[in-house]
């Protein structure tokens, strides 16, 4: 058994435990709303794999070994049904208010009031550049995401990705995939200069990359992904820090290539 096959087996065991925990935490009546979503987790650097490593599902990409794992997420309609059912059973009122869209139309907030648990709000970015049906769909997706987060703050559906819902995870995966393609097809000249304010503390992923929730100057919220090489600096970021980076953007996700220098900013504004 190699070091990586052992890691893959450990990940498989932890995935199974995570799944079991999810079904223990969520009442049986709502198990149908739990979905397992695949993720690729980096387990180390490698230039080649042994037959044993390939047989257990380890893959090689860009000099790194990856293992496929699955994490449980709860769909938003499941969180809504669970919350409504529980409030009805306890004879308590639950109010889900219509979404409040920002003046510039870039993000919306959904407010939930519970006579039993208090109140909470969830916000989500509205993808820009859409028109007609696509624009309506973008608002609906943002509303779903915001509602899921608001209910998550009240304790509904907190499994796997925490406040993140299954729909939100799928949307983020699609944006990250588009950024990966853009990264592979682009050069240094194609990098975007992005300045943002840190809105939430950094979240370190299992592969040592790091997600930071940020707000741009136009008040648009974005998820900023820092690579493993920048983890030591990214993890030091605190709420309200203003950062300038160079990277690739797709919708509300930005993949950082490096921190911007004063010279970079002068060139971009020239």
CB atoms within 10 A of CB 204: 14
Q: CB of 69 within 8 A of CB of 15?
A: yes
- Give the model's pLDDT for residue 130: 45
- Most confident range, picked from 44-48, 81-85, 194-198: 81-85
> Residue 61 is inside which H or E element, if any?
strand 58-61
Instruction: Give the residue among 90, 104, 108 at the shortest CA–CA distance from 146.
Output: 108
pLDDT digits (tens, 9 = 90+) for 232-245: 888 888 888 999 99
Q: CB of 125 within 8 A of CB of 144?
A: no
Longest CA pairwise span in the chain (Å): 63
Residue for token pair 């049904």: 81
DSSP state of 204: E
CATH of span 187-269: 2.40.50.1010
> Residue 184 is inside which H or E element, if any?
helix 166-185
CB atoms within 10 A of CB 265: 14
Q: CB of 26 within 8 A of CB of 84?
A: no
At 17, the pLDDT band (50, 70, 90 cuts) reads: confident
pLDDT digits (tens, 9 = 90+) for 213-233: 888 887 777 888 888 888 888
145 has pLDDT over 50: yes
DSSP, residue by residue, 94-124: EEEPPPEE-TTSSEEEEEEEETTTEEEEEEE
pTM: 0.57
Rounded CA separation 160/26 (Å): 12
For the residues 129-154, what does the mean pLDDT come to? 74
* Average pLDDT over the chain, rounded to an integer: 79
Rounded CA separation 112/154 (Å): 9
CB atoms within 10 A of CB 221: 19
For the residues 90-115, what does the mean pLDDT come to? 90
For the chain, the domains span 3-73, 76-164, 187-269
∠ CA 48-54-69, rounded to 5°: 110
Q: CB of 194 within 8 A of CB of 215?
A: no
List all residues 6 or more positions away from 143 whose beta carbon is below 8 Å from its beta carbon.
99, 108, 110, 124
265 has pLDDT over 80: no
């Amino acid at each position: 058994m190699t070091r990586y096959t052992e890691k893959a087996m450990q990940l498989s065991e932890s995935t199974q435990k995570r799944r079991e925990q999810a079904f223990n935490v969520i009442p049986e009546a709502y198990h149908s709303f739990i979905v397992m979503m695949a993720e690729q987790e980096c387990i180390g650097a490698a230039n080649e794999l042994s037959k044993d490593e390939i047989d257990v599902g380890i893959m090689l990409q860009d000099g790194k070994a990856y293992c496929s794992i699955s994490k449980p997420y709860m769909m938003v309609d499941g969180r809504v049904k669970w919350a409504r059912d529980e409030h009805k059973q306890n004879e308590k009122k639950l109010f889900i208010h219509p979404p409040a869209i920002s003046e510039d139309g870039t993000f919306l907030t959904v407010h939930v009031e519970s006579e039993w648990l208090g109140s909470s709000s969830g916000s989500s970015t509205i993808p820009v550049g859409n028109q007609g049906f696509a624009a309506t769909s973008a608002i609906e997706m943002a509303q779903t995401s915001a509602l899921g987060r608001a209910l998550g703050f009240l304790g509904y559906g907190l499994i796997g990705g925490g406040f993140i819902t299954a729909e939100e995870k799928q949307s983020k995966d699609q944006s990250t995939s588009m950024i990966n393609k853009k990264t592979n097809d682009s050069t240094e000249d194609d990098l975007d200069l992005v300045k943002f304010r840190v809105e939430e503390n950094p979240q370190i992923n299992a592969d040592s990359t790091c997600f930071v929730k940020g707000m741009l100057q136009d008040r648009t919220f974005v998820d900023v992904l820092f690579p493993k090489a920048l983890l030591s600096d990214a993890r030091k970021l605190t709420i309200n820090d203003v950062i300038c980076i160079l990277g690739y953007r797709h919708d509300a996700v930005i993949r950082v290539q490096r921190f911007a220098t004063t010279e970079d900013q002068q060139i971009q504004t020239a």
